[in-house]
Amino acid sequence: MNRVIVITLAIGLGFGCSEKKSTVTAVGLPDSVEVFKLNKEQVAKILSLPGELHPWERAELYAKVEGYVKEVKADIGDRVKQNDILLVLDAPEVTANFAKASADLQAAQSTYHTSRDTYRRVVIASKEKGAVSENELERVRNQMLSDSASWEAAKSGANAYAQLRNYLVIRSPFGGVVTQRHVDAGTLVGNSSQRMMQVENLDKLRLRVAVPEAYSAALPETSSVNFEVDAQPGKIYSAVLSRKSNQIDLKTRTELWEFEVNNPKQELKSGMYGNVNFALQRSEPSFVVPFSALVTNLERKFVIRVRDGKTEWVNVRSGITMNDKVEVFGDIQEGDTLVLRANDELKSGVVVTTK
Q: How much of the chain is in helix, strand and coil states, percent to nearest 5? A: 30, 40, 30
- C-alpha to C-alpha distance for 109 and 121, rounded to whole angstroms: 19
105-120: average pLDDT: 90
- In this model, does residue 171 exceed pLDDT 60? yes
Between β-strands 325-330 and 286-290, what pairing exists: parallel, antiparallel or unpaired? antiparallel
- CA separation for the pair 334, 38 (Å, rounded): 5
- For 213, 341, 351, the CA distances from 307, given in Å and listed in that order, are 33, 16, 10
Write the pLDDT tens digit of every residue in 280-310: 778 788 899 999 999 998 889 999 999 988 9
126 versus 273: which is more confidently predicted? 273
Superfamily grouping for domain 47-56+201-281: Efflux pump adaptor protein, beta barrel domain (2.40.30.170)
Does residue 139 sit in helix, strand or coil?
Answer: helix
State residue 26's pLDDT score. 42
Say how many C-beta atoms besides its own lie within 10 A of residue 154's C-beta: 21
Answer whether CATH 2.40.420.20 is correct for domain 31-41+285-354. yes
Q: What mean pLDDT is reported for the chain?
A: 85
Question: Which tens digits make up the pLDDT trace of 322-346?
Answer: 888 998 999 999 999 999 999 988 9
**How far lies 178's CA from each of 62, 202, 266, 288, 338, in Å?**
14, 10, 13, 52, 62
The CA distance from 299 to 344, in Å, is 11
Spatial separation of the C-alpha atoms in residues 304 and 339, rounded to whole Å? 6
DSSP three-state, residue 118: helix
Q: How far is CA 310 from CA 34, 100, 313, 328, 339, in A?
A: 13, 96, 10, 22, 11
What does pTM read for this prediction? 0.67
Bridge partners of 302, per DSSP, are: 295, 315
Q: Which of 291, 327, 240, 345 is nearest to 40 (CA)?
A: 327
pLDDT at 261 over 50: yes
Q: What is the pLDDT of residue 137?
A: 80
Q: What is the pLDDT of residue 132?
A: 76
Separation of alpha carbons 280 and 248, rounded Å: 18
Q: Write out pLDDT tens, residues 188-214.
A: 998 777 899 999 999 999 999 999 887
Beta pairing partners, 90: 68
- Chain centroid to Cα 304, Å, comes to 39
Its CATH architecture, for the domain 92-167, is: Orthogonal Bundle (1.10)
> What are the residues facing 88 on neighbouring strands?
71, 169
Helix (H) or strand (E) holding 318: strand 310-321
The sign one gets for the Cα dihedral 77, 83, 84, 86 is positive
DSSP labels, 84-98: -EEEEEE-HHHHHHH
Sequence spans of domains, the chain: 31-41+285-354, 47-56+201-281, 63-87+171-195, 92-167
Number of helices (H), then strands (E), belonging to the chain: the values are 4, 23
Helix/strand/coil for 135: helix
pLDDT interval class at 4 (50, 70, 90) = very low
| Residue 163: per-residue pLDDT | 82
219 confidence band (pLDDT: 50, 70, 90) = low
Q: How much is the average pLDDT of 87-109?
A: 88
Q: Give the pLDDT mean for 268-285.
A: 88
Looking at the DSSP bridge assignments, the partners of residue 204 are 262
Q: What is the pLDDT of residue 281?
A: 79
pLDDT-based confidence at residue 56 (cuts at 50, 70, 90): very high
Q: Taking a C-beta distance cutoff of 8 angstroms, is the pair 305, 315 a contact?
A: no
* pLDDT value, residue 17: 41
- Minimum mean pLDDT range among 160-164, 249-253, 289-293: 160-164
Largest Cα separation within the chain, whole Å, is: 172
| 125, containing H or E segment | helix 92-125
13-46 tens-digit pLDDT = 343 444 443 333 344 456 788 999 999 988 888 8
Residue 325 backbone dihedrals phi, psi, to 5 degrees: -135, 165
* CA trace torsion 42, 45, 51, 55 (10° rounding): 50
Name the β-bridge partners of 261.
205
Q: Is a pLDDT exceeding 90 seen at residue 85?
A: yes
